[in-house]
Amino acid sequence: MNKQEKIVLNKYGRMRLKYLKEHKKAEYTIMLMNATLNAHLKEIQEMANIRVRQIISELQSKSDLTEDMKNTDVLYSASKTCNFMLNDV
């Protein structure tokens, strides 16, 4: 078996790994044996992170926050941004 690159899995990498183990056992085993699993998980989490940033940006542009509000009411601005992220974007 070849050595795989070591990576730190984030939320989306762990979710994909769990999905593969539970629902796509053959694909998981093949990727594990071919030493492509970590590269696959890394690619999935990078794509997910890009998409999350894109969605958060879109939500922020659609929100009622103005630059003045961001500068004067920092707590409100931070809570709106956290809500975007917590709603599992």
Give the start-to-end residue ranges of the domains of the chain.
11-64
Cβ-contact 70, 37 below 8 angstroms: no
Q: pLDDT band for 3, please (50, 70, 90 cuts).
A: low
What's the pLDDT tens digit per position in 12-61? 999 999 999 999 999 999 999 999 999 999 999 999 999 988 988 887 77
Mean pLDDT (whole number) for 76-89: 64
Q: State residue 38's pLDDT score.
A: 94
Mean pLDDT (whole number) for 2-17: 86
With a threshold of 0.75, does the pTM exceed it? no
Where b means 16+ CB within 10 Å and e means fewer, 12-22 reads bbeebbeebee
Mean pLDDT (whole number) for 7-14: 93
Residue 47: C-alpha distances to residues 11, 17, 18, 38, 52 (Å): 12, 15, 17, 14, 9
Cβ-contact 9, 45 below 8 angstroms: yes
Q: State residue 60's pLDDT score.
A: 74
Find the range with the poorest average confidence among 4-8, 23-27, 55-59, 66-70: 66-70
Which tokens go with 81?
Answer: 């941004």
Q: Helices (DSSP H) in 35-73: which residue ranges?
A: 37-62, 67-72
